[in-house]
Amino acid sequence: MLLAMPVSVGAPGSVTPSGNFRFFKKVEKKRANSHGYAYKGNSVKKTLLSARPAGYSFKGTPMPYWCEFKPNYGFHTGWVKHTPCTHGCIRMHENLSPKFFRLVKVGTPVSIAYSQPEDATYGKIPLPPDAGPLPDYGSEMYIGDGYFKRHKAPVYN
């Protein structure tokens, strides 16, 4: 095992797909194409693209260190909660996602299941404290590049 970490998974109604996959795309600075922030002047609203108010521009939610394993499903930086909470993606803590991104390659196998054989050997991975309600940063972090700049790739010697 190269890395064990707590993650957040899909909420009821938007579950994370289970099965065997391979990573087929990696994007360091990806944005969601369906949910994010509508903005006009100093007004910013968290919204779905389909519900964007008239006259507002839209920027997708930042999803740094995107590793896609099924179309529109991937591992990425996000809030790690104590309960399933995502739209189906797997969210990794911001301190671990850069390392994960560097470790995996396009073609790396991905097995997603409720439990894995390694669970018997390594046990349960403790969750970090809950990040609280979204968003936890000001909206300027999300519509600009601030959220991407916050996460630095690890340097290995």
pLDDT of res. 3: 78
* Residue 3 DSSP SS3: coil
Rounded-to-integer distance, Cα 127 and Cα 89, Å: 17
With CA atoms as reference, report the closest residue to 49 among 63, 62, 60.
60
Residue of 99 and 131 predicted with greater confidence = 99
Mean pLDDT of 135-140: 70
pLDDT above 90: residue 137: no
Structural class in CATH, domain 7-150: mainly beta
Domain ranges of the chain: 7-150
Residue of 62 and 148 predicted with greater confidence = 62
In which band, very low, low, confident or very high, does the pLDDT at 144 lie, cut at 50, 70 and 90? Answer: confident
Rounded-to-integer distance, Cα 80 and Cα 7, Å: 6
Mean pLDDT is lowest, of 72-76, 115-119, 136-140, for 136-140
